[in-house]
Chain A
């Protein structure tokens, strides 16, 4: 009974989210149509100039490695630091007495 109630309430929440997020009559995030070009012109710029300026047909790679290169550099540094910390912490740096 309790489990069925929980499942039903999850279903109701999911249906409410579906209604709220549907593009026809739900909540509107930002602008639609041509209005978004006025405020989100960087998206349009990347899509239009990405191939001639950077050369890759994968726009995500263009953005990640060229336009937002510093972000990727920081990401690589984070990965390097995480691996270095894991390796440094996990190596047996002090033997227990009974081993």
Chain B
């Protein structure tokens, strides 16, 4: 029995994975404007990664996915979240100082470069959720205990 799921599934996955990734990136980037956010968009991008893993098999995924890098990036996402929360520490934890008197991300409400630390936090949480879910499923398929 081969590792991947056959030519039909592989071709469909090759078409669908970039679109799912682009949609997830859109949800993460517009998290402060439209419904969605870091968690939801990160889970969507992780769905693209898991589709790649399921359709192409563990051997092809091992060449593309570096599990140590993904595990490290999850911590980096959490640190970005914490660092963005500490930006306004002179007033309070989780105070949006970039929005009130910051140099960047303080455009009009409703534009992409507005809302202070919310886009930064969305990117951090999206990175964290994406790498965390992908590394969890990758570990599940990499270290399986049953025989072929």
Q: List residues of chain A with CB under 8 Å of any chain B CB.
A: 51, 53-58, 60-62, 64-66, 69-70, 72-73, 76-77, 79-80, 82-83, 86-87, 90-92
Contact = CB atoms under 8 A, between A and B. Distances in A.
19 contacts: A53-B96, A55-B118, A56-B32, A56-B114, A56-B115, A57-B110, A58-B32, A58-B36, A60-B35, A61-B37, A65-B122, A66-B118, A69-B94, A80-B74, A82-B136, A83-B74, A86-B140, A90-B139, A90-B143
B24 interface: no
A79 B71 CA distance: 13
Report which residue of B115, B135, B143 has the largest number of chain A beta carbons within 10 angstroms of its beta carbon: B115
B32 A61 contact: yes
A8 B135 CA distance: 46
Interface size range on B against A: 35 or more
A17 to B, nearest CB: 27
Given A70-B93, A73-B81, A79-B129, 17 more contacts: A54-B99, A54-B115, A55-B116, A56-B115, A56-B118, A57-B33, A58-B33, A66-B96, A73-B82, A79-B128, A82-B136, A83-B71, A83-B132, A83-B136, A87-B136, A87-B139, A90-B140
Contacts of B21: none
B78 interface: yes
A49 to B, nearest CB: 12
